[in-house]
Structure 1
Amino acid sequence: MPLVVTYAFLYLPIAVLVVMSFNASKTPFTWTGFSTRWYGELFSNELIREGFINTMIVAVGAT
């Protein structure tokens, strides 16, 4: 039983963040529908896109 509580304590916040990242609303706790709008805005930023590409290059090179 303590193991289940520990895993829930660790993974439940991550699951909530993943679900809420697909929320169409600007406020995090008002669900207005499913959307990938925020991911589109995230990858439209040039600095974030370059950082992501560099991270993937380093990850592939390290493996």
Structure 2
Amino acid sequence: MKDNFSNNQIADKLIALFELENDNQLANHFGVERQQIRQFRNGTRVSLVQAIITELLSKIEA
């Protein structure tokens, strides 16, 4: 099983991908509260969602 990106890595990569500057802009981009981005960053649970996002971001970066 390959390593998945951490939630922090995912958030940082999405900020870069969408050419945003910070978590506030990421929250606005997805139409959520900034608190939800913070909770996502602080989450440590690894699930299928992280695996899917890791695969997608890896393809985009390639």
TM-score relative to the length of structure 2: 0.35
Higher relative contact order (CA 8 A, sep 6+): 2
Structure of larger gyration radius = 1
TM-score relative to the length of structure 1: 0.34
